[in-house]
Amino acid sequence: MGEVSLFFINGRIAAAESSELREADVLVDAAGIITAIGTGLPAPEGAEVIDCAGCLLVPGMFDVHVHSREPGDEHKETLASCAAAALHGGVTGLVLMPDTSPPVDSGNLVKSAMDLVSEVSPIPMHQSGCLTKGRQGTELAGFSGMASRGVPMLTDADRTVSCPDLMRRCMEYARDFDLLVTSHTDTPALSKAGVVNEGRVSYRFGLPGIPGISQEIAIDRDILIASHTGARLHLQQLSTARGLESVRRAKEAGTKVTCEVSPHHLVLSELEIRDYNTHFKFNPPLRSVEDTEALVAGLIDGSIDIIASDHAPHTEFEKSSDFGSAPFGAAGLETTVLVLHDRFIRTGVFGWDLLIQRYSDAPRKLIGQLPVAISEGTAAEFFVFDPAAQTVITRDYLRTKSPVSPFIGETLAGAIRGTIVRGMWFA
């Protein structure tokens, strides 16, 4: 908790319910509770005044797809550096993927992960569990132990459960324990050793391609198994227009399915990959311009429920190998709000209300948490955003241990001035 009250004056409050911004001062007491909201409020004695003139107060974002790398790969990222990156990006809560070393596949490992989080993280982090033991895709992980520890979701994190019989049993158990199954949709027999989208770019670069149907077949399969078993299914990282069409049809048919999209699949296509720059190597890969446009439309019409960064830290050394051998993924926690504001909010494609719905409200609801709003009597959980400022994305700007991002070198409109959560103001 902070030592004094914080008084945020002259700002405008953004909310999920409306694209209108409300001018108001916000008083947060030393315990981190919003005690007053209004215009012309007197400053209480001893309060630290934070002038937010020209700035917005935006509810904290929540990221359901984050790789922290601790334990096992602390040279890439630690829980502490991950939390610092999240706060720097306006993210006040997140779900950790279970692909650490060892992978989190039992109730005991969930408990030790959560113990570590409570020791080192200033923000709420929820530990997900594996679907299969060791993410090996051969036998079920410890569902009942993980359920008793309150895991928010089960996933093999960037790996598909290839065997349809095993995936069916995962979903049957998940249904019985009322757990959410989260699926990285891929068909390894089609993706093979692919590294970029199969098509013009893979041919031009002479790199092995990953066809769109690799994800689309897996989406269709998992939707069918979910519909057959009645399990709740969440699909990670949609990347193609046809995959999105399958989700639309499944939702219309009443299947309990939700899906997410990453910022890089919304704003970058395969055409942005130049000079074999491995910062643009993702799994699923960056797709065609048409796919990107379809994903933006799906985000706006609600077919895509959630934005998630897939924050996947790697060292610069690992990413400096050739395009074929470098690992997939990049850091995302610090750039998601900035990039989406720059490309979509600033240009009027959608408003703050939509970003808050898809990156703050819906992700919390997905794992049974209450959305956060800036309202009296609630805990302060928001960030201050200056739309008139600019942010230059450099390695030094990033607080993650992994200064690997496709947006390095870009100047983005807007800047995050600070984030408040649990009564602490991080500026």
Q: Which residues are catalytic?
A: 310
Q: Which of the residues 211 through 250 are near Zn ion (CB under 5 A)?
A: none
**Number of residues near Zn ion (by CB under 5 A):** 2
Alpha-carbon distances of 69 from 35, 216, 316, 422, rounded to whole Å: 38, 28, 15, 24
Q: Which residues of 409-419 are buried (b: 16+ CB within 10 A; e: fewer)?
A: eeebbbbbbbb
- Of 95 and 421, nearer to Zn ion (C-beta) is 95
| Options 9-17, 156-164, 288-296, 344-352: segment touching Zn ion (CB under 5 A) | 156-164
Distance CA 311, CA 67 (A): 6
- We find the least distance from the C-beta atom of residue 391 to Zn ion, in angstroms, to be 24
Residue 284 tokens, joined: 């699923």
- Of 171 and 308, nearer to Zn ion (C-beta) is 308
Would you give the binding string for Zn ion spanning residues 288-317, x where CB under 5 A is met? Answer: ----------------------x-------
| Cα distance from N-terminal residue to C-terminal residue, the chain | 15
Q: What is the DSSP letter of 286?
A: P
Distance CA 1, CA 424 (A): 6
Q: Which residues of 250-274 are buried (b: 16+ CB within 10 A; e: fewer)?
A: bbeeebbbbbbbbbbbbbbbbeebe
- We find the least distance from the C-beta atom of residue 305 to Zn ion, in angstroms, to be 17
| Options 150-158, 188-196, 377-385, 408-416: segment touching Zn ion (CB under 5 A) | 150-158
Task: Note whether 158 binds Zn ion by CB under 5 A.
Answer: yes
- We find the least distance from the C-beta atom of residue 133 to Zn ion, in angstroms, to be 19
- We find the least distance from the C-beta atom of residue 206 to Zn ion, in angstroms, to be 27
- Of 65 and 169, nearer to Zn ion (C-beta) is 65
Closest CA to 154 of 163, 165, 173, 138: 173
Residue number with the smallest Cβ distance to Zn ion: 310
- Of 216 and 310, nearer to Zn ion (C-beta) is 310
- We find the least distance from the C-beta atom of residue 157 to Zn ion, in angstroms, to be 6
Closest CA to 250 of 225, 283, 214, 272: 225
Distance CA 353, CA 351 (A): 5
Residue 298 tokens, joined: 């799906």
- Of 156 and 386, nearer to Zn ion (C-beta) is 156
Interface residue list for Zn ion (CB under 5 A) = 158, 310
